Each structure stands twice: as structure tokens, then as C-alpha cells.
A = this chain, B = another copy of it.
Amino acid sequence: MACEFNKKIYPIHPSDETVQDIPAYKSALDLPETPDLAVIVLPTNLVIKCVEECGKKGIKHAIIVSAGFKEVGEDGINLEKELSATAAKYNIRFLGPNCIGVANSHHKLNTTFMQYEGKPGFIGMASQSGSFITQMFEYLNKFGLSFSSGFSVGNEANVDIVDCLKHLGACPETKVIALYIEAIRRGREFIETARSIIPHKPIVAYYVGGSEAGRKAGFSHTGALSGSDRLYDGVFKQSGVIRAYSIEELYDYCQVLGSCPEAGGNNVIIQTHSGGPGAVAADACDRAGLALSKLSDDTRNKLTQFVPDTGSLNNPIDITYSKNPLNFFFDIPAILLEDKNTNGILIYFIMPEQSIDRTLEMLNVSEADRDEQAAELMNGIAANILNIMKKANKPIVGFSFQTEDNRFINSLQESGVPVLRSPTRAAKALGALVQYSRHRKFTNSVRKTI
């Protein structure tokens, strides 16, 4: 819906002449050409006949949104077998049934019932819950993120989560893969596929079936039989998949893994101008397996001119205040990232509207030009942070309690600088990046030895 899909669409309807003003056909058999994909949203009892007609027409791919199959019990199980047999007869690969389909921000294809107007994104998602596709459109948008491709796999009668993983591994628009898992049906293939992808692309998984209650809920939801938490932990560790423990962690990790260069190690600097958020970040880094690096003398010397007496050159670097607030976003992070003992930095981003105005005043911007100049200033800062990160080839992860409705946070996010919603979330996400980088380094070194 509303994704500006600009390829040909042929509605099929038993009686209506048009569907949303597009001329409709009575059956797939009547179509003037063979489409690449059929999207089937019909009452359960009509689905198999429709697949049969698609097959006869030569259609090779389908998304079956309709429910009422395996998930409803015995009758449904038989119906699903029949559906699979019909598809097999014509070599049709299909997603579903009982799914909401696909949302692809690059091909502007959205078969779900929710509007999706996000910009093209880099998170490739395969999900055993359709909600974590559709209900995340808006959520991700608030972080400046979106799906490259989001697959709702439904009952996995034909295409399953492993197939989607394979596809996303090869998809050039996907920089990081997110998985929502209630149960993996093909364990060995999952591990093999994940292992083949990890050397060039990170995978983050949230597994919900590890607790007793989660297991039961998953079974009731999609009829999936999940395994113990420990079993899945083993599967993820063996294959190098990063494990998240909540939906917000899943996407936080994707944001950082998809936006930042890899980390050469776990030594980080926290840059702040507020003691409390700095202390919280330090505590969170410790708990996330990150170490606070000891600044080299060279770095300390270079910093002196930018940090007043009230500030601290220990780590966290607490600037307290700057005569020129732009130092905080230009000179200081550049110096910190150059530090030889340091693999990445966490920066506290806060710019209340009143500070934005004050900065502009300081730059002698007239009141009439404020709005335009503010946008330019914010974009300039964001572009510079990105540039520093690229040049040093080390990760910068921002954190803030402010959100996308603040102009500054919005600019950073839109430019591609990851800004997490708290120091704790930022530290965990940077921890995930370090974990991935380590795993990749290790497997690559093993490959070379063999």
C-alpha cells in the first residue's frame, strides 16, 4: 500500500470490473501476459483453485496471505498439504500461507495492509510474525531506518525463514539481517546458511521461544515447536549470529551494525558534557563487555585546548562546557578517534531547541534566517560526524534521551549517524558490533590457516 510501486498490476476479481480503478480480470488464466508474482488474498476455500490457475498461466512465484491452514488444526493441515502439492506440480515457490507478505523499500513493493512510506533502508528482515514487519514501519522511521526487504514467512509451507536468510545474504541493498524467530524448522541448514553469510554481513536474531511462556505463545501463534533457550544459544553462537533479547535490542543492533565500520577491539571512549550520562554510559559499557581506553599522551595534549578546567580528560571525557559548542562536534571527536588506544567512541548528543538558537545567535545569524540556517548547521554537523567516522574507519555511536522530533537528532539520524535512545542501549549496541567484528576476524583468520 502507498509504496509507489510503479510496475504493472493486474487485479483479479470474480465479479468486479475494476479494483481501485484498475481494470480487473476474472481469473489468472485471462491475463494478457504472465506476471512475475501472484499475491493471493482470498477466502481459504478459494486459494488452491487460484494457485492451480496461476500455475497453468506459468506464474512461478506467489505470496499467499490467506489464513486457515496448518495453524487451525487437522483440517488446515490437510488443506496445506494439498496447497503444497498443487504448487509443486507447477514448480511455484510461495511465501505463506497465513503471512502478510513482503515490504521492499527499494522495489517500492509492499503487499501488506499497512502503509509504508519509508525511504529505502538497509535492514533485511525475515520474521515469523507479520506484526514485526508492518508495526515496525513507523517505529524504524523514527530512527531514520527502514527495511531493505521485510519478509513475513507465515506458516512456511514452502519458502521458510532459512530461504529468506539466504536471499537476504545475497541482497545488495541489505547491510544487516534481522530475524524474529519463534522456532527454526531446519536447524542444520540455518547454521550452514548463517555461517556462509556472517563473513560478509552481520545477522541479529531475537528468539522468543526460549522461555516456557514464550514457547507456548509461539506454538499458539504459528504452531511452531521451539527448543530450549540453551539450544538456540548454541545455534547462534556456532553460527556467529548476534542474539538480541528484545525487539528494541534487535533493531538497535541492526542500526549500529548497518551504519558503522567494524571495531578493531573493545576499547572505547565516551564523549560527554554531562557527568551523569557519562557515568551511566561507563557503567553500561562495562556490562556490555566494552573497556574504557586510556588516552595516549598525544591525544591528551591535542585535547587540552578544547577542554576547560572544569572538564575531565579521564574516560569518560567530560567536556562540561565549550566556549564554542561546535568543538564538541568537530575537533574533539576527530582527535578522539585518532587515538591509537581506541577502537570507537560513544558520543552524548543533546541540543535542546534553546541551545540551537543560542549557537545561531553566536554565529550572528539574523532571526529571519534562523530556521534555514539551523537546518544547514545541523546537517553540517551530521555530515562531519559521518565523515570523521569514515576517515578513521572506526565506529561512532551516538546516544540521546531526545528523539526524532528534535531537529538535531533528526539531522544526525537522517544522515546515517546512529543515535540510540539511551547510554545503556548505545553501549549494548556497540558491544554487539564489537562481538560481530571479533567473530568475523576470528573466522577469517581460521580460514586463512586452513
A interface residues, Cβ below 8 angstroms from B: 67-68, 72, 114-115, 127-132, 135-136, 138-139, 142, 180, 182, 206, 208-214, 216-218, 220-222, 245-248, 270, 274-287, 291-292, 309-310, 312, 314, 316, 318, 350, 352, 354, 401-403, 405, 421-425
Q: Are B135 and A350 in contact (CB under 8 A)?
A: yes
Q: How far does the Cβ of A120 sit from chain B's closest Cβ, in whole Å?
A: 21
Taken together as a complex, chains A and B put the C-alpha atoms of A142 and B132 apart, in Å, by 23
Contact among B128, B285, B312 for A213, CB-based, below 8 A: B285
Q: Are A246 and B350 in contact (CB under 8 A)?
A: no
Residues of B within 8 A of A425 (CB): 246, 248
Which residue of A280, A281, A283 has the most chain B CB atoms within 10 A of its CB atom?
A283
Taken together as a complex, chains A and B put the C-alpha atoms of A373 and B49 apart, in Å, by 44
Which residue of A180, A280, A285 has the most chain B CB atoms within 10 A of its CB atom?
A280
Q: Are B401 and A136 in contact (CB under 8 A)?
A: yes
- A278 and B221 in contact (CB under 8 A), knowing A422-B246, A424-B247? yes
Q: Which 9 A-B pairs have the closest CB atoms?
A: A129-B276, A214-B283, A211-B286, A221-B275, A217-B282, A246-B424, A131-B274, A217-B279, A213-B282
Q: How far does the Cβ of A69 sit from chain B's closest Cβ, in whole Å?
A: 12
- A67 and B310 in contact (CB under 8 A), knowing A142-B403, A246-B424, A280-B247? yes
Taken together as a complex, chains A and B put the C-alpha atoms of A127 and B277 apart, in Å, by 12
Q: Are B214 and A276 in contact (CB under 8 A)?
A: no
Q: Are B275 and A316 in contact (CB under 8 A)?
A: no
Residues of B within 8 A of A278 (CB): 217, 221
Nearest neighbor of A135 in chain B, beta-carbon distance: B401
Residues of B within 8 A of A212 (CB): 286
Q: How far does the Cβ of A64 sit from chain B's closest Cβ, in whole Å?
A: 16
Residues of B within 8 A of A209 (CB): 279, 283
Residues of B within 8 A of A424 (CB): 245-248
Taken together as a complex, chains A and B put the C-alpha atoms of A131 and B399 apart, in Å, by 14
Q: Are A114 and B279 in contact (CB under 8 A)?
A: no
Taken together as a complex, chains A and B put the C-alpha atoms of A291 and B213 apart, in Å, by 8
New A-B contacts (8) at CB < 8 Å, excluding given A206-B280, A211-B283: A129-B274, A132-B276, A214-B280, A216-B314, A217-B283, A217-B316, A218-B279, A246-B422
Nearest neighbor of A137 in chain B, beta-carbon distance: B352
Taken together as a complex, chains A and B put the C-alpha atoms of A135 and B68 apart, in Å, by 50
Taken together as a complex, chains A and B put the C-alpha atoms of A286 and B291 apart, in Å, by 31
Q: How far does the Cβ of A155 sit from chain B's closest Cβ, in whole Å?
A: 12
- A208 and B279 in contact (CB under 8 A), knowing A138-B401, A247-B401, A310-B67? yes
Q: Are A221 and B287 in contact (CB under 8 A)?
A: no
Residues of B within 8 A of A222 (CB): 275
Residues of B within 8 A of A67 (CB): 310
Nearest neighbor of A276 in chain B, beta-carbon distance: B129
Which residue of A218, A316, A401, A422 has the most chain B CB atoms within 10 A of its CB atom?
A401
Q: How far does the Cβ of A61 sit from chain B's closest Cβ, in whole Å?
A: 25
Show 23 residue pairs from A and B whose CB-CB distance is below 8 angstroms, ordered by the A residue. Answer: A67-B310, A129-B275, A129-B276, A129-B277, A131-B277, A138-B352, A180-B276, A209-B279, A209-B283, A212-B286, A213-B286, A213-B292, A214-B283, A216-B282, A217-B270, A217-B282, A221-B275, A221-B318, A245-B287, A245-B424, A246-B424, A247-B423, A403-B403
Contact among B221, B276, B283 for A127, CB-based, below 8 A: B276
- A208 and B283 in contact (CB under 8 A), knowing A278-B221, A401-B139? yes
Taken together as a complex, chains A and B put the C-alpha atoms of A208 and B129 apart, in Å, by 36
Taken together as a complex, chains A and B put the C-alpha atoms of A403 and B287 apart, in Å, by 28
Q: Are B246 and A284 in contact (CB under 8 A)?
A: yes
Residues of B within 8 A of A72 (CB): 309-310
Q: Are A210 and B115 in contact (CB under 8 A)?
A: no
Contact among B128, B138, B213, B421 for A283, CB-based, below 8 A: B213
- A211 and B316 in contact (CB under 8 A), knowing A274-B131, A282-B216, A422-B246? no
Residues of B within 8 A of A129 (CB): 274-277, 279
Contact among B135, B206, B276, B286 for A277, CB-based, below 8 A: B135
Taken together as a complex, chains A and B put the C-alpha atoms of A4 and B212 apart, in Å, by 52
Q: How far does the Cβ of A80 sit from chain B's closest Cβ, in whole Å?
A: 16
